Structure 1
């Protein structure tokens, strides 16, 4: 069944270029009315201008769609609330949030200033929190919502020189996990996108032909899938160069080692068996780990009702 977003209202942050621009164009191409949000700053977050967001909004309007530009800073909750209020006042609702805005301040941990660590967390984590918090009441009231946070392989698997970025991106997976549980009864689906794309954040880091293969437009179909009526929830969808994967945080079957003075040594001796992927599972929520461990200890764990 074709994905039709006619009548839906979407906010895409960081949409003045790169991935965000492609997401905004893709959503508009399926009929969504789009708030193109971009502070218009540099990769490190400095500066700001409405021009980039306005260019993309005009591109959508020229193609026959509906769009408005916003330069609200995602780090300022009052500005984010005003952006949501403007979209709601103009179009009646915000149905879709794609939290894509981000900055980079790469450096090895030993050389990284704490100011640069905090700045990246503020944009990626609190920026996403601010946007989700602003749209959440309306989504609950209407019993419908689609939220996509932007995580990264740097958070899922690590990347040298990106301790701040990796920490921020993995935090968004935790945010997704809980909001997906809390939003389920209200028809709100919350997912993460882990993109690989040849944007300005990767310029100079890989050969030109590889950057060309990582066309940001090849990632945006993943966003369409994650905001569709039939979208999954609590899913980390990876996308790059036309390929798509799902990343999962699994729990191995492990071993019940009990207590005693030598358990620490036994853990080291049994690391290979503890890591054995055979029979691994993806817990439904945070209590799943404890339930699994109690079951191996011989208990039938009680679940909160």
Structure 2
């Protein structure tokens, strides 16, 4: 990192989860613009392809990883594939409203399965990715 620009990410490797979604794609774009090597993770290979294409149009070379972040073994494989990380952006999440699972938006009609799925992705998935990345970063030490 340059001594003059605290936002210079040249040579830094960053993993962005939920990179096929709106916020994840924006985070990835901003990081790539600052020089980071971005690795994109999302459940949807199609959404990832769209983000990779967008970033390529912006001059960035992003690497895509289709992965279910609620699967600990898949997350471990992802982090092994990415290699030494400098940063993680947890952007993966689901919203039952956009899945058509919210029971009309009222608590009394909200399906328990939709609630469980939200917890699994939004909390457990975030935990699993963060834990795996922290293990890798701790082994490597500061750069």
TM range (shorter): 0.7 to 0.9
Q: How many residues align?
A: 132
Task: State the 4+ residue runs in structure 1 displaced beyond 3 angstroms.
Answer: 61-64
The 2-side partners of 1:143 and 1:87 are apart by: 16
1:62: how far off? 4.2
Tell me which residue corresponds to 1:202.
Answer: none
**Structure 1 residue 140 corresponds to structure 2 residue 138:** yes
Tell me which residue corresponds to 1:24.
Answer: 28
Tell me which residue corresponds to 1:13.
Answer: 17
Which runs of no fewer than 5 residues in structure 1 stay unpaired? Answer: 41-49, 146-305
Tell me which residue corresponds to 1:98.
Answer: 89
- State the TM-score, normalized to the length of structure 2: 0.83
Listed as ranges, the matches of 1:249-268 within 5 Å are none
The 1-side partners of 2:25 and 2:116 are apart by: 26
Cα-to-partner distance string for 1:137-173 (whole Å, 9 max, x where unaligned)? 111123349xxxxxxxxxxxxxxxxxxxxxxxxxxxx
- State the TM-score, normalized to the length of structure 1: 0.41
1:82: how far off? 1.1
The 2-side partners of 1:138 and 1:78 are apart by: 15
The 1-side partners of 2:130 and 2:122 are apart by: 12
- Superposed CA RMSD: 1.7
Listed as ranges, the matches of 1:23-62 within 5 Å are 23-40=27-44, 50-62=45-57
1:97: how far off? 0.8
The 2-side partners of 1:139 and 1:109 are apart by: 41
Q: In the alignment, is the contact (CA less than 8 A) between 1:4 and 1:31 conserved in 2? A: yes
The 2-side partners of 1:104 and 1:58 are apart by: 25
**Structure 1 residue 122 corresponds to structure 2 residue 120:** yes
Tell me which residue corresponds to 1:110.
Answer: 108
1:108: how far off? 2.4
Identify the structure with the greater helix proportion: 2
